[in-house]
Amino acid sequence: MKISFLLQNAYGIGGTVRATFNSAGALAERHDVEIVSVWRTHDRPCLPLSGKVRLRPLIDRRADSRRNDLGSALLGTPSALVPPVEARGSGFDGLTDRRVARFLGRTDADVVVATRPGLVIYLAAFGRRHYLRIGQEHRVYSTHEPGIRAAQDAAIAALDAHTTLTEADAVTHRRHLTATGTPIVSLPNASPRPPLTAAPDTEAPLVIAGGRLIPVKRYHLLVEAFAAVAAAHPRWKLRIYGRGPRHAALRARIDELGLSDHVFLMGANPSLATEWAKGAIAAVTSREESFGMTIVEAMRCGTPVVATDCPHGPAEIIRDGEDGLLVRSGDRDAVARGLLRLIEDADLRRAMGSAARRNTERYAPEHIARRYEELFDELNATSPPVPVPLDRRVVAGARRARAATGRTLRRAVSGARRWRTAGPGPLRPRSACSVNAEGDLDVRLERAGMPGEAFTLTATLRGSDGPGGGQLVEVPLRRPETDDAPWTAVLERRALLLAEGRWDFHVVRADDGARRRVASSAVEQQGLLGLEPSPGAPFSWWIPYTTVKNNLSVRTWKRPAHAEAHTLTTGTGSCTVEGTLYGAQFAPGQRPRLLAVPRQDPSAAFETDVTALGAGRFRFCVAYSRVLDACGGGEAETVDLVLRLSEGAEPVRVARVVGDVVDRKRTDVYPAAELPGPRGGAAASVRPRFTACNDLTLVVRAAPGDAGPYAGRSPGSPASVTKDAAVLMGAPGVVTDESVLKSALADSRPRPTVT
């Protein structure tokens, strides 16, 4: 059977694309499956697609393609069929009318599935009776604009079947479409097994939420509910993954509730499976869900979900009290009670996590593929398609024969080329990486992308691989024991004291010296959550991650000693930090001090008390008034924070490094405090902020039109400013020896004032 899925843009990222790729890949195990993308916007799809599924674009919108369709006279002209709201929002126009009509009129598929309203309208208008015509609803009946809703309802009447993601939405469709006679069938999205090697961490004090930051997700409700959680259990944190128009409003609400050290906006993450597994609990507080893909994905990872019992999806996925909790929709206190119930009962969390993984097996792609097949068989039995005319069958058969001949010829030419060169095939290393209990990196390289007999895995410090660079290490690769097993390597944290920076991975083939970056399919950072730094000096920490170009890299820190800022509490006039000292100790009778150093004028540095709490723990409080007094005039100033354990001792940076977050600057955000000026106005704001190296600083900004009480102070010379800032920040390519920092701070002549 040949099945064609019709997508608007298979080269983008979205729930419909992901769900279609999952179903198509499963069906391709037993059928001839293609995805027909109306638009082509990139060279390759952004999401992974099974190699057994053909991808066929109809219109090329790539600006750098020599054969693009950007010069077509029909491009941008109004569509004759699709309502304007749908057309403008999804790029339907006169050119899509023509190309989709041509495809639907000529295809030799046995089944064509349309995945959005505009495509459903096309399928009803241009589809042929010699194949099954099936529409899909990826939203909820009531959420479409009235014009789109009316047009799609009319189109559904001309199809062989229409599917919804939930039975509740199928009931709604049937109620509104009783006169059409078109079967309405509930067929949920497929969710593959997560590519994880470790079980979820049910003990980690983390709640995870994920999705677009839009009003319907009601993240403000979750943030407000989490205020009660943080008050009762201060160790627990909430991470919200996603981006969207509600980001600024959520950030403001977090600051308003004093939850900056408990609720973190993590940004978008294309692979949430590894993040769900980090959390002990997942949370969903939507006003409505067309299905609830995030719920299924979290449960597939063994993470129990607390979800509001909104219409449609959650109640069909979660078995309340068995594999998750359903709470009253829109009720902040009910969400808090649900979270607290699981937080305070570890046995219940573990039991629900196991049940969640077991019960969501029904959403595995192979099970959803069988439901598709049952639908196709039932439709063929009750209303078989009109036989294809003989001439059309002949043309289609000839087309398939030509395609098969072409594939055979290409394989023969490719084989002859390889025989002539006597070399292995192209090198395309693809990896999965995880952190083990010792903090070492386990790297697994797929056998399929590494033709050859011998390889070397290299890690190169970014910025050091040019002429004269030598920051490169080689790691042995273990040969696979079977044909389908991966090549493996272990980077031992205690044996490889990698310099501080970002390291990129390559594979080098011994046969021909070919060298390629290692692509990343998954990075499991879960092992970092409960991991402690290795004892003694130097302090070292590694975080593997996937780059924006989907390559494998690792961020490393290596310092003689390190002061980890575990908690940071802000007030109207000060901030308090508690943390742990690594790589050094507070000696008896020692009088540790915090040194705050303005970058523009290090001579204005000041000291404040540090309280040693035992076992390397410390606490200090910085008064913002002292920060303002120390800063020179100007619109902005940065103050670096370092510990001086004793007179003459090496300075120790205060930072937030330990854990699994590479860039704290983006996620660990704290509010600014406005300090009054001499005339009662806002003189300046002071905000704690982490740098690109995760070092803790205080950023001072003058109020517009008011230089504040610190106006008139002359900053240090540009040369000294550059050196001091570079040393404190550990800028790439700049000497970062701690003795240089010690000398710079000794020359700063800190004031003896104590707060």
- Of 60-69, 406-415, 556-565, 717-726, least confident by mean pLDDT is 717-726
Q: Say how far residue 326 (Cα) sits from the centre of its chain.
A: 26
- Of 170-174, 342-346, 645-649, 705-709, least confident by mean pLDDT is 705-709
Give the integer Cα–Cα distance in Å for 110 and 385.
9
Q: Is residue 489 a contact partner of residue 478, using CB atoms and an 8 Å limit?
A: yes
In 3D space, the residue among 588, 691, 692, 585 whose CA is nearest the CA of residue 641 turns out to be 691
Phi–psi pair at 392, nearest 5 degrees: -70, -40
How do residues 17-58 score in pLDDT, each as one tens digit? 989 999 999 999 999 999 999 999 999 898 889 889 999 999
Instruction: Specify the pLDDT at position 410.
Output: 55
In 3D space, the residue among 449, 217, 193 whose CA is nearest the CA of residue 299 turns out to be 193
How do residues 84-129 score in pLDDT, each as one tens digit? 999 888 889 999 999 999 999 999 999 999 999 999 999 999 999 9
SS3 433: strand
Give the mean pLDDT of the chain: 86
In 3D space, the residue among 94, 132, 96 whose CA is nearest the CA of residue 8 turns out to be 96
In 3D space, the residue among 486, 552, 692, 657 whose CA is nearest the CA of residue 271 turns out to be 552
How do residues 403-413 score in pLDDT, each as one tens digit? 555 555 555 55
Give the integer Cα–Cα distance in Å for 615 and 212.
42
Q: Is the dihedral of CA 509, 514, 518, 519 positive or negative?
A: negative
Give the integer Cα–Cα distance in Å for 475 and 712.
56
Give the integer Cα–Cα distance in Å for 146 and 729.
56
Q: Is residue 622 a contact partner of residue 641, using CB atoms and an 8 Å limit?
A: yes
Which residues, 6 or more positions from 435, have their beta carbon under 8 angstroms from its beta carbon? 441, 442, 524, 525, 526, 527, 528, 531, 542, 544
Which residue(s) pair with 543 in the sheet? 555
- Of 439-453, 515-529, 557-571, 678-692, least confident by mean pLDDT is 678-692
Instruction: Identify which has the larger pLDDT, 126 or 739.
Output: 126
Q: What is the mean pLDDT of residues 545-549?
A: 92
Give the integer Cα–Cα distance in Å for 600 and 721.
5
Q: Is residue 450 a contact partner of residue 429, using CB atoms and an 8 Å limit?
A: yes
Instruction: Specify the pLDDT at position 13.
Output: 79
Tokens of 98: 């023509």
Work out the pLDDT band at 504, boundaries 50, 70, 90: very high
SS3 748: coil
Q: How many CB atoms lie under 10 A from the CB of residue 46? A: 17
